[in-house]
Structure 1
Amino acid sequence: MNPGEHVTEIVIFTVLFLVVSGMGFVAARWRRPQDLASLNEWGLGGRNFGSWITWFLVGGDLYTAYTFVAVPALLFGAGAMGFFAVPYTVIVYPLVFLVLIRLWSVSHVHSLVTPADFVRVRFGSPTLALLVAITGIVATMPYIALQLIGIEAVLKTMGIGGSGLLSDLPLIIAFVILAAYTYQSGLRAPALIAFVKDILIYLVILVAIIYIPARLGGWEVIFGRAQEKFAATPAPGDGILLNANNQLQYFTLALGSALALFLYPHSITGVLASRNRNVIKRNMSALPAYSLLLGLIALLGYMAIAAGVKPIGTDNNTVVPVLFDQMFPDWFAGIAFAAVGIGALVPAAIMSIAAANLFTRNIYREYINPQATDAQEAGVSKLTSLVVKVGAVLFILLIDPQFSIDLQLIGGVIILQTLPSVAIGLFTRWFHKAGLIAGWVAGMGGGLVLLYNISNPAIKHAHFGGSAFPLEKLGFDTKMTIYAGFLALLLNLIVAVVGTLVARAAKVPDGPDGTRPDHFTADEGDPRVKDLELESST
């Protein structure tokens, strides 16, 4: 595409992108404390966000470029399987309601910043905490890469692309801007930007679900043409309805993704920044509104089929931007592109902050500088947030999946291995630390082996071609597939249980539990909650 044909779109996109980026820098003065030089302030926004800010922050954190680009692209290429994202976001909130309220309480009692901090206190094992921290960092990188892919897809659609380093310059500039305001403002930046991001996304989607079907002849035409496409090019698992080969994959993928979503460090970061337990309860009740939005966004994939959209080259991630370019007037297409781009900035910032906090608290402070001051922690976390973004770019270069959603699904396989120690650990101390470590090793090793053996002929990848593992590779006479993360988690849990029984029988010393039952129900103003502001100044 020629940039000269997209001048209006480029101008509007650039203006909105720069305005929002400016807000990211201004955010350093928004609700500013006397000193930002601590993880409680830089990394958690002072732990004082109310219901509205938390709703936009967590929503902006979870509904990302993955929502706008990856889910519709999967429906465009594979059909009904792409709808797995809708049921998983429906079932996730009751699970989160039970789990994260307890994590909020115990984290405030002990001034915890990361899930690995909790594991360190709960199981008394720096080794297990280190494994959880490394897992969180590695799983977050492909998720950040997914956000950068969203920006890249928009730039390609506007004709800003080509070959060589120069073609990547706009993406590099966006990356540098993101890194700069995250470094300066911390969590306050995405919290402030999330307001604009969500307003733009709701505006674009409400217009899209009315305007585009009207231009295409209605929903009957849209679904009819999608059915024609999949009938003409039959492939296992494709179609507007699920079939016998992909139903198990759909179920396990939805359940596995729901279990993984709030294990991600960035999800926990948004929740720990909340003021009290009631803020979390209200948000878990209101956030399903985004699930309705997600269902509508997914249908953009079928609209693209009906509109005859052709991806740019072989990049299915450009399907939605090209649809907007074809169907909307130039000025509104520019707004839609800005919504996608800004929708990538918010989660990318939170994710890099969360990963940086993991490194700082559970690697740097635990093993490198145990006497680190608050200011030193904040400084290290700022620098690490930059390194994490570079790592995310490497994921784009090395993995190069056909569907960008595979980046998130591969990350899900990895982060699921922290479920026994983090999520289950919030309810029981039955597991022995040795059993949990053994389970993590088995689950992580097994998960990586499964991912390595998943091929994708469409992009000529013999390995790491997705997350749908063929059961025939386990000796079953079937064409069915299953989510690799689900199998890896089962292996993790089995080994953790067996390892715990063996460790108890052998009387292997366990780590001390630094929590008490009442720590999991403490709330704002409760005398059990430490004065975090006072603590950070001492």
Structure 2
Amino acid sequence: MILVITLAIVLGTMAGALAASLRQRAARHSMAEWAVGGRRFGVLIFWFLNAGEIYTTFAVLGISGFAWAYGAPAYLAFTSVSLSAAIGYWLMPRIWDAGRRHNLVTQADFFAQHYRATWLGVVVGVAGIVALIVYVQIQIVALSLIVRMTLGPEVSPLASALIAAAVMLAFVVFAGLRSAAFAAGVKDVLMLLVVAGLCVTVASKVGAASMLDVYRLAQDSFPGIGRFPGLQPEAGLSSVWLMTSALNVALGNWILPHLFQLCFSAGSENTIRRNAIWQPIYSLSYFFIILLGFAALLAGTQPEGGDTNAVLLQFVADRYPAWAVGVFAGTACLLALVPGSVLLLTAGSIFSRNVVLPLRPGTSDRALLALSRAAMLVFAGIAVWLTLGGSRSLVEIGLSAYAAIGMLAPGVYFAFLWPRAHAAGVFAGIVAGYAALTLPQATALWNALLPHWEHGLIAMAVNAAVAAAVCLIVPTRRPAAA
């Protein structure tokens, strides 16, 4: 029953998404239609696609598991979403305007056009692809867990990861961003209903009188769960970590290439601003997601191998009937499928337009589209390899992706705030930022000087300082305004 219901939800959504895309014949032949939806998404479609990047497996499986393992540090979800929306209200319309005026498709297009440096577009494109692959890893980790839950533990981790990647690729290769927008709407509605249903019934599953009583029982049973540093003080997840991590996520959120590209898909500036105003409402859902994590802790849920990513899946499987498990599993599949598809689509677009096209300027639009789809196979394979190589929580993987993409943030903000910024300075900042983020010596220094600080935020500050210094020292002509 679990397998049948899961397949019905996933295949039904995929069929509807493909049908919605095929109504737009240009989606099969136009890079702009496939990658940015023809630049005409209205408020409703843009809302679901944008919100779909918030309500993912990172949010539902990752945050609930983080609450189960650490307690209060899961509150990171509340702060980061609201801060991201506030920054997006100012930043997204500027990105959209630059894309409309210069017919941009990818984030790397923006860097190459604004700073008049094709080579910088290549550098940014490669950096963006790396960050996207790390983010795809989140979706494949979650989707492979659901595959094993529905097909049985006898399915190996490799087989489940390959199945997850294959389903994700099949979804995006033949449709594009428009199909992802349709599926995002279905996924959001289903997930809200599922989370609401779980929260209404969860108190009876753990011996509590009400939803709020679950929080009281958790505090009584696990003192310190509701305040920092949470259940594992040795992990260093203090209030300083919360503030610096939330700020790093907020500053880097719209720099993620797929969200940058999403801005280009909006039909108007008003569409973007209205979404930014209402987007923080989604952060309220984390109250219920954290509630489910605490309930799993009270229920004594123990996922296989202590895997925090599987906590909510295990809790539902242990405490609910098969039909409910099937509905949850099918909806959770969509949580991974939709954002994962958009991530792969974006990575493929960047590869063809910003890595291949500069080397082969005469490549046709149809050939670029084919290259984008082929590249996604490689990127999905790398993400599968990363999935098998580690067992970090979804939240930890997500913060790594934000730290990596944050190295492009100063170049974006300087483009809109400081006319003196130029390509050489931005590139110097990127190099310095990655050194500050990845070198073991730098990591040891930050741990000694700024304990509990998010290293991605420190590296972003180093990046910005070096970029600004080089731009001041090295003269160059003023770039065209974006």
Determine whether 1:246 maps to 2:238: yes
- The correspondence for 1:397, drawn from 388, 397, 400, is 388
RMSD, aligned α-carbons: 2.7
Instruction: Give the secondary-structure state (helix, strand or coil) at the position aligned to 2:453.
Output: strand
The alpha-carbon deviation at position 244 of structure 1 amounts to: 9.1
Determine whether 1:86 maps to 2:102: no
- The correspondence for 2:471, drawn from 500, 507, 510, is 500
The alpha-carbon deviation at position 213 of structure 1 amounts to: 2.0
Matched residue type, 1:265: P
Per the alignment, residue 491 of structure 1 pairs with: 462
Per the alignment, residue 28 of structure 1 pairs with: 21
Per the alignment, residue 317 of structure 1 pairs with: 309
The alpha-carbon deviation at position 220 of structure 1 amounts to: 5.5
Per the alignment, residue 527 of structure 1 pairs with: none
Determine whether 1:427 maps to 2:401: no
Instruction: Give the secondary-structure state (helix, strand or coil) at the position aligned to 2:428.
Output: helix
Q: Which moved more, 1:244-253 or 1:277-286?
A: 244-253
**Alignment map for 1:172-183 (pairs within 5 Å):** 172-183=162-173
- The correspondence for 2:275, drawn from 272, 283, 289, is 283
The alpha-carbon deviation at position 432 of structure 1 amounts to: 2.9
Following the alignment from structure 1 to structure 2, what is the Cα–Cα distance between the partners of residues 119 and 153? Answer: 37
Residue-by-residue CA offset, 1:425-454 (whole Å, 9 max, x unaligned): 12322223222111110101111126995x
Unmatched tracts of structure 2, length 5 or more: none
The alpha-carbon deviation at position 69 of structure 1 amounts to: 0.8
The alpha-carbon deviation at position 241 of structure 1 amounts to: 10
Instruction: Give the secondary-structure state (helix, strand or coil) at the position aligned to 2:479.
Output: coil
Following the alignment from structure 1 to structure 2, what is the Cα–Cα distance between the partners of residues 391 and 432? Answer: 33
Residue-by-residue CA offset, 1:235-261 (whole Å, 9 max, x unaligned): 993339999961111100011011111
Following the alignment from structure 1 to structure 2, what is the Cα–Cα distance between the partners of residues 475 and 49? Answer: 46
Matched residue type, 2:386: F
Q: Which moved more, 1:48-57 or 1:145-154?
A: 145-154
Unmatched tracts of structure 1, length 5 or more: 1-7, 454-468, 521-538
Q: Is the 8 A contact 1:230 1:240 kept in 2?
A: no
Give the structure-1-normalised TM-score.
0.83
The alpha-carbon deviation at position 470 of structure 1 amounts to: 8.8
Judging changes above 3 Å, is the alpha-carbon distance between structure 1 residues 470 and 220 closer, same or farther for their aligned structure 2 residues?
farther
Per the alignment, residue 297 of structure 1 pairs with: 289
Matched residue type, 1:247: S
Q: Is the 8 A contact 1:225 1:305 kept in 2?
A: no
Matched residue type, 1:373: S
**Alignment map for 1:128-139 (pairs within 5 Å):** 128-139=120-131
Residue-by-residue CA offset, 1:331-366 (whole Å, 9 max, x unaligned): 122111111111110000101111111111211111
Residue-by-residue CA offset, 1:33-52 (whole Å, 9 max, x unaligned): 44632221111111111111
Q: Is the 8 A contact 1:62 1:347 kept in 2?
A: no
- The correspondence for 1:190, drawn from 162, 180, 187, is 180
Determine whether 1:411 maps to 2:404: no
Q: Percent identity among equivalent residues?
A: 25
Per the alignment, residue 4 of structure 2 pairs with: 11
Q: Is the 8 A contact 1:21 1:177 kept in 2?
A: no
The alpha-carbon deviation at position 177 of structure 1 amounts to: 2.7
Matched residue type, 1:482: W
Judging changes above 3 Å, is the alpha-carbon distance between structure 1 residues 245 and 139 closer, same or farther for their aligned structure 2 residues?
closer
Following the alignment from structure 1 to structure 2, what is the Cα–Cα distance between the partners of residues 375 and 415? Answer: 29
Q: Is the 8 A contact 2:202 2:211 kept in 1?
A: no
Per the alignment, residue 445 of structure 1 pairs with: 435
- The correspondence for 2:142, drawn from 131, 150, 155, is 150
Per the alignment, residue 474 of structure 1 pairs with: 448
Matched residue type, 2:285: L
Per the alignment, residue 465 of structure 1 pairs with: none
Following the alignment from structure 1 to structure 2, what is the Cα–Cα distance between the partners of residues 223 and 46? Answer: 46
Instruction: Give the secondary-structure state (helix, strand or coil) at the position aligned to 1:62.
Output: coil
Matched residue type, 2:173: Y
Q: Is the 8 A contact 1:88 1:254 kept in 2?
A: yes
Q: Is the 8 A contact 1:257 1:412 kept in 2?
A: yes
Judging changes above 3 Å, is the alpha-carbon distance between structure 1 residues 98 and 274 closer, same or farther for their aligned structure 2 residues?
same
Instruction: Give the secondary-structure state (helix, strand or coil) at the position aligned to 1:430.
Output: coil
Following the alignment from structure 1 to structure 2, what is the Cα–Cα distance between the partners of residues 470 and 229? Answer: 38
- The correspondence for 2:323, drawn from 309, 319, 331, is 331
Give structure 1 regions of 4+ aligned residues with deviation exceeding 4 angstroms. Answer: 228-233, 240-245, 450-453
Following the alignment from structure 1 to structure 2, what is the Cα–Cα distance between the partners of residues 206 and 451? Answer: 47
**Alignment map for 1:24-423 (pairs within 5 Å):** 24-30=17-23, 32-34=24-26, 36-158=28-150, 160-162=152-154, 164=156, 168-216=158-206, 217=208, 218-219=210-211, 221-227=213-219, 230-231=222-223, 237-239=229-231, 246-366=238-358, 368-401=359-392, 403-423=393-413
Matched residue type, 1:486: L
Judging changes above 3 Å, is the alpha-carbon distance between structure 1 residues 490 and 34 closer, same or farther for their aligned structure 2 residues?
closer
Matched residue type, 2:418: T
The alpha-carbon deviation at position 229 of structure 1 amounts to: 5.7
Matched residue type, 1:424: F
Residue-by-residue CA offset, 1:489-538 (whole Å, 9 max, x unaligned): 1111111122122213xxxx45x6233xxxx6xxxxxxxxxxxxxxxxxx
Number of corresponding residues: 480
Q: Is the 8 A contact 2:406 2:456 kept in 1?
A: yes
Higher helix share: 2
